[in-house]
């Protein structure tokens, strides 16, 4: 806009066809006289209207104590403002590092219109030390060069002391180290605000500070979304935490976090990560597509989660240390590994929940405790409920379309049977029973399942005394290659004859106190033919253990196996591995062509731990590497890792690629004193 100090010419045609010229504020008649004077005055007033300083409009100006225009100092307005003042900021950008020690309101015109950037290296855009401060409709950008250990950090907003802070419709972004930093006894509320693209975290709350977040977006922060430590507490309602390059929420020490109706997705870590004695409560929330578990607990942390959905995470929930989780009316689905994983001495209680479409449903190991009650476990590709060396209990749970329902040290009563156990014999296929599990559940203890010729999809849980008889050509195949064909749990006592078991992670998997006898059977083309854990026991007579992709048989913990008149041929890593305190008797059997050149194989038999093994009248022929070996130097691995016992007699070793027996002095244990051990 031109002013009198500049040369301006305005031409206006008069009422009588005359024209005047206004030049530098003077008027000259060119021709015509009527109307000339008032026209000139009008033109001059237009020019003068642009000569004062420009001011941007401010909404609700009547409510403002002070209005600050671009080019004016916000800090100066704060310093002279009385308590309770409302300082309104026009559209524009300020480069200032503000400090507030009184109760005031800073009100902008919108987070895209009013911007305050830290004006000092290593300083926050605003530092609140005391008073009650209300921030509204402003975009805040902190400094750089400071860290979380700085005092104060160069966040967009730092609040310390006993101040009270309210943030509405603000953006706190592009700051180092974080968008908002709250410490000491600060009480803060954030509503409809954005904490985005900060170098470390969107929100950091430490000390005894408290924060309430409603309707906020926390996104794109480089180390994680929200950090809570010491005795701090954060309550989030209707918040979205998305695409943070670390955990969505990281809470530790005695921190407390509540998430209600929130979404945490696509974190490059866990959705919620908890350490120390932290406590986490989630209700009506969704955690999805996080790189690590949806919720991951360590140490003594406690999780209470209800009416929430966890989808497409690595694990849905993982408990380690002595952590505890109480899960009620939740859906945990599409986990890339376990829906719920419980280890260490952790405790899980899950009620009225749905576990679906994961590799494994609930996995409990290492002395952990779990109670599962009135829940649904469906479409888990491998195992719906897996328990080894742990305490698992519960009842009223429904299982459907899993690779196998139960695996390990579990009482079968945790699973609701598909049929009433009343039959003494069932022949399959059978029109009344849609699956083999239906047929098995329908058998009373001591009943017999008869398999006609053909291949039947198994994935069966056995937890009672039954007999399984196959007609010639009867085959049981796994429902999924990552699940066992048969899973024997607590109370199982099963005799199987004339059946080929194929295509599973194990042909037969047994744990707890399960007992299994296989007569004239074949365990072929599984990952492992026979897997024994805990105190289970197996007897194999005239059975083939052939062409399994890993091991013919694994015998572990306190399990025992007697393998007699059997053939163990072409198992890729080895025929049998025995470890822990397990016991093996191998008698009158052929161990041939096991192991594979170029692979981590041992060939025939591998002994580990304090296992006991007895070998009587066997033939060890053409195995890759060894006929029999102990784990450790100089055989396989380093150091001495076998402290058990080996005995035997009249064994024949021929054509094995390495030594017949390693170490060589073990040979003396395999034949009577003075008797040679044949080697062809």
Q: What is the pLDDT of residues 78-123, one digit of tens each?
A: 999 999 999 999 999 999 999 999 999 999 999 999 999 997 888 9
How much is the pLDDT for 29? 36
C-alpha distance from residue 11 to each of 22, 290, 527 (Å): 7, 70, 97
The length of the chain in residues reads 680
Q: Which of 337, 372, 369 is nearest to 352 (CA)?
A: 372
Which residues 6+ apart lie within 8 Å of 352 measured at CB? 328, 329, 373, 374, 375
Q: What is the mean pLDDT of the chain?
A: 90
Secondary structure element (H or E) that encloses residue 28, with its range: strand 26-31
Q: What is the pLDDT of residues 64-80, one digit of tens each?
A: 999 999 999 999 999 99
How much is the pLDDT for 45? 43
- Higher-confidence position of 635 and 404: 404
pLDDT exceeds cutoff 60 at 671: no
How much is the pLDDT for 277? 98
What DSSP string describes 528-581? EEEEE-TT-EEEEES-EEE--SSEEEEE-TT-EEEEES-EEE--SSEEEEE-TT
Q: Rounded to an integer, what distance in angstroms lies between the CA atom of residue 574 and that of residue 554?
A: 10
What DSSP string describes 99-114? EE-S-EEEE-S-TTTE
Beta strand 486-488 with 506-510 is parallel
pLDDT average, residue stretch 634-656: 89
How much is the pLDDT for 674? 47
- 3-state SS, residue 381: coil
- 3-state SS, residue 247: coil
Q: What is the pLDDT of residues 169-215, one digit of tens each?
A: 999 999 999 999 999 999 999 999 999 999 999 999 999 999 999 99
Question: What is the CA 385 to chain-centroid distance, rounded?
Answer: 18
Q: Which residues pair with 354 in a beta bridge?
A: 331, 376
How much is the pLDDT for 26? 35
Would you say 20 and 30 are in contact if contact means Cβ atoms under 8 Å apart? yes
pLDDT exceeds cutoff 60 at 134: yes
How much is the pLDDT for 5? 34
- 3-state SS, residue 77: helix
Confidence of residue 670 (pLDDT cuts 50, 70, 90): low
Q: Which residues pair with 21 in a beta bridge?
A: 11, 28
pLDDT exceeds cutoff 50 at 159: yes
Domains in the chain and their CATH numbers? Answer: 9-48 (no CATH), 65-218 (no CATH), 246-402 (2.160.20.10), 416-549 (no CATH), 573-674 (no CATH)
pLDDT average, residue stretch 213-241: 98
Beta strand 19-23 with 9-13 is antiparallel
pLDDT average, residue stretch 526-543: 98
pLDDT exceeds cutoff 50 at 676: no
Which residues 6+ apart lie within 8 Å of 669 measured at CB? 646, 647, 648
pLDDT exceeds cutoff 80 at 403: yes
pLDDT exceeds cutoff 70 at 38: no
């Amino acid at each position: 806009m031109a002013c009198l100090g500049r040369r301006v010419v305005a031409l206006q045609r008069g009422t009588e066809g005359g024209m005047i010229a206004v030049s530098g504020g003077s008027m000259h008649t060119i021709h015509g006289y009527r109307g000339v004077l008032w026209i000139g005055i009008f033109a001059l007033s237009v020019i003068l209207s642009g000569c004062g300083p420009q001011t941007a409009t401010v909404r609700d100006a009547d409510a403002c104590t002070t209005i600050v225009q671009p080019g004016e100092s916000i800090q100066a307005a704060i310093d002279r403002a009385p308590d309770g003042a409302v300082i309104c900021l026009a559209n524009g950008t300020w480069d200032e590092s503000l400090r507030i020690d009184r109760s005031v309101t800073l009100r902008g015109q919108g987070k895209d219109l009013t911007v305050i950037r830290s004006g000092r290296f290593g300083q926050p855009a605003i530092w609140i030390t005391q008073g009650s401060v209300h921030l509204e409709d402003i975009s805040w950008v902190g400094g750089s060069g400071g860290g979380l250990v700085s005092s104060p950090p160069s966040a967009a907003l730092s609040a310390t002391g006993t101040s009270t802070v309210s943030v509405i419709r603000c953006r706190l972004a592009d700051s180092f180290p974080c968008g908002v930093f709250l410490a000491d006894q600060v009480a803060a509320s954030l509503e409809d605000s954005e904490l985005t693209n900060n170098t470390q975290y969107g929100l950091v709350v430490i000390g005894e500070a408290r924060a309430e977040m409603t309707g906020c977006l926390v996104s794109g922060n480089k180390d994680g979304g929200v950090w809570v430590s010491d005795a701090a507490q954060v309550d989030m309602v209707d918040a979205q935490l998305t695409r943070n390059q670390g955990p969505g929420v990281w809470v530790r020490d005695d921190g407390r976090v509540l998430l209600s109706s929130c979404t945490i997705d696509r974190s490059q870590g866990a959705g919620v990560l908890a350490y120390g004695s932290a406590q986490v409560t989630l209700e009506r929330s969704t955690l999805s597509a996080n790189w690590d578990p949806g919720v991951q607990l360590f140490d003594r942390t406690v999780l209470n989660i209800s009416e929430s959905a966890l989808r497409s995470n690595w694990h849905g929930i993982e408990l380690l240390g002595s952590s505890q989780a109480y899960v009620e009316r939740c859906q945990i689905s599409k986990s890339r590994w376990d829906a719920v994983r419980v280890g260490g001495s952790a405790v899980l209680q899950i009620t009225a929940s749905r576990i679906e479409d994961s590799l494994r449903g609930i996995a409990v190991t290492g002395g952990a405790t779990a109670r599962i009650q009135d829940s649904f476990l469906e479409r888990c590709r491998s195992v719906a409920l897996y328990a080894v060396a742990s305490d698992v209990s519960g009842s009223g749970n429904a299982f459907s379309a899993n690779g196998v329902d139960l695996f390990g040290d579990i009482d079968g009563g945790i699973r609701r049977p598909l049929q009433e156990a009343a039959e003494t014999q069932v022949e399959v296929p059978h029109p009344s029973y849609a699956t083999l599990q239906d047929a098995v559940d329908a058998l009373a203890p001591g009943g017999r399942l008869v398999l006609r010729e053909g291949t039947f999809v198994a994935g069966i849980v056995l937890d009672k005394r039954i007999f399984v008889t196959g007609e010639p050509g009867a085959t049981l195949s796994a429902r999924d290659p990552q699940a066992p064909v048969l899973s024997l749990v607590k109370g199982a006592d099963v005799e199987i004859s004339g059946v080929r078991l194929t295509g599973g992670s194990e042909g037969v998997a047994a744990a707890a106190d399960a007992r299994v006898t296989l007569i004239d059977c074949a365990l072929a083309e599984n990952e492992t033919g026979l897997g024994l854990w805990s105190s289970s026991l197996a007897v194999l007579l005239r059975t083939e253990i052939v062409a399994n992709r890993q091991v013919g048989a694994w015998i572990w913990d306190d399990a025992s196996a007697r393998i007699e008149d059997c053939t163990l041929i072409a198992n890729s890593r080895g025929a049998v591995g025995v470890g822990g305190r397990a016991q093996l008797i191998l008698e009158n059997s052929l161990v041939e062509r096991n192991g594979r050149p170029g692979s981590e194989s041992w060939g025939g038999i591998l002994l580990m731990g304090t296992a006991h093994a007895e070998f009587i009248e066997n033939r060890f022929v053409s195995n890759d590497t060894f006929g029999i070996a102990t784990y450790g130097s100089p055989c396989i691995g380093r150091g001495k890792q076998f402290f058990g016992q080996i005995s035997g007699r009249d064994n024949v070793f021929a054509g094995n690629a390495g030594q017949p027996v390693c170490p060589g002095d073990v040979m003396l244990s395999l034949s009577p004193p003075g008797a040679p051990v044949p080697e062809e």
